[in-house]
Amino acid sequence: MKLLGRTAVNTVVGISVLYTLLPVLWLVLAAAKSGDALFGSDLLSWKGFSPLDNLKDLFAMDKGIYRRWYANSLFYAVVGGALSSLISIACGYAFDKYRFKHKEKLFGLVLAAVMVPQTVLALPLYLIASGTGLVDTAWAVFVPVLFNPFGVYLGRVFSQGYVPDEVLEAARIDGAGELKTYFRVSLRMLGPGVVTVFLFQLTAIWNNFFLPMVMLSDQQLYPVSLGLYTWNSSATVSPEYYPVVITGSLLAVVPLLVAFVLLQRFWRSGLTAGAVK
């Protein structure tokens, strides 16, 4: 029975790995093929192998607008994710360490906001942006991603697990103010939590599609996700867009892989602390 159970688990894991990796493998192979080889479904041969030509076409298509999309996505995701993680951790820390009126009720609202799908908020956010004149500007996409209810929840969990109350009391006895205690003591302890929230938010913002589609009409402000969608829609009329869409999709994965590889040590320790707590 034990061997049978182990075999069943290994089978499920193997199927899950194949389900995850096969689309990535197809993307890598397809990005290296010319349009003729791609339409001929000839992915496993050397025929039509032209990754460099695909890259040149990608960065030359529509006057090189893919570079602008890529830079926009880096701005929205990296800068927005970093600021969002700092805000979330600070809010979670406040919910954990300070007493104030209706604290638990307010935190309940934060938990309720976690359950609200982001697509539901797109129309209210558009109306607010329209009323403030931010529609079709980078701020219409950048500002909403700064506030992350799930990050606030994680911030409170990490604060409970990483920052002992005794350390804060010792800092206060030494004469440190609340801001100095937070930035000099607490924030350093919360480093793995900041990285964990940042990675979650980086992934969410980088893959964000619906909000930019609602807010933006200027292609110069598009992120990669919306730009590739536009090209893919055009590919039904102009098939030359298909190879560049696939190559662009492969390049769009690179920042997320780099972020996880560079920060995985902090991410693992952060998740472990949250799970133990």
d(C-alpha 265, C-alpha 269), whole Å: 6
Residue 3 maps to a domain = no
Residue 18 maps to a domain = no
pLDDT > 60? residue 5: yes
| CATH number of 228's domain | 1.10.3720.10
Residue 117 maps to a domain = yes
Residue 272 maps to a domain = yes
pTM more than 0.95: no
Tens of pLDDT along 70-107? 999 999 999 999 999 999 999 999 999 998 889 999 99
CB atoms within 10 A of CB 222: 23
Q: What is the pLDDT of residue 277?
A: 44
What's the total number of domains in the chain? 1
pLDDT > 50? residue 275: no
Tens of pLDDT along 133-149? 999 999 999 999 999 99
d(C-alpha 247, C-alpha 52), whole Å: 10
In 3D, which of 260, 261, 259, 235 has the Cα closest to residue 246? 235
Mark 34-72 as b/e (b = at least 16 C-beta within 10 Å). Answer: bbebbeeeebeeeebebeeebbebbbebeeebbebbbeb
Residue 1 maps to a domain = no
Residue 99 maps to a domain = yes
Domain that holds residue 193: 51-276
